[in-house]
Structure 1
Amino acid sequence: SGSGNKSAKIALWGYDRSGWLISPPINIPTQGYELKFDLGLTLRNSVNPIDPTASQDEKLLVLVSDTPIMKDTTILREYNNLGAEYVFNEIPHTGASYSIPLEGISGIKYFAFLGITSTSGGDMDLFVDNVS
């Protein structure tokens, strides 16, 4: 019940799990566009922040493809805990806005958010919202 903004969630828990969120087709007519979105990361089924030291294997890939089945994807950005510029465990539980320049990308495209975990522990929920 209730109204308001609803985000999409990728539940990251257990062994070798992944979850996809794929956009409908989006027409990128010319250069100079960017992909904008909000991310939030919480303990599973909670609004509380994660323990950033509890689990290090999770990652998020932001991808683009010409097909809805995400064949021949291009990684636009990777969030991980293994020395990446964008650290997965630093995504705030209160949410934050991000953007990715789409230089060299035009035409009908599909964008995806792929959350991945490979080991148990650090059960968490990744929220994606306001994709534009």
Structure 2
Amino acid sequence: MTTELARINRVCRYALAFVFAFHGLVPKILWLSPVEVAWVNAHHLPLPPALFAAVAGVFEIAIALAIAIRPRVLWPVGVAGALLLALLADAMIFAPGLFVQAFNPATTNIAALALCYAIYASQPAMRSPTR
């Protein structure tokens, strides 16, 4: 059972890392999404949207790497969970129109939060000497 839980933990970590890496790289760094620009503009931040998105993208990729390559450490998963909750609440306030779109913040963030939970629940298997 411990080996199976360790496998589940790894799969969930890689899936969560993929979510953060993809969302950090594709709509923020490679192709700046109009949704990202509108989100930054809605907050009236003193930075150009492209710069803010790039910095946020690099941060998301760093979180993704920490989740994927540090299997015995939970803090990156906790940071990811906190960000997912904060960004979900933020989208409800600043971009409620996104919630009627396919693959909206509710569906993606709740699914990613479920991955966070599965990682926490299976984490003891990652510390077991029988692994």
Check whether TM > 0.5.
Answer: no
- Comparing both structures, which one devotes a greater share of its residues to helix? 2
- Comparing both structures, which one devotes a greater share of its residues to strand? 1
**Taking structure 2 as the reference length, what is the TM-score of the superposition?**
0.25
**Taking structure 1 as the reference length, what is the TM-score of the superposition?**
0.25
Larger RCO of the pair (alpha carbons < 8 Å, separation 6+)? 1
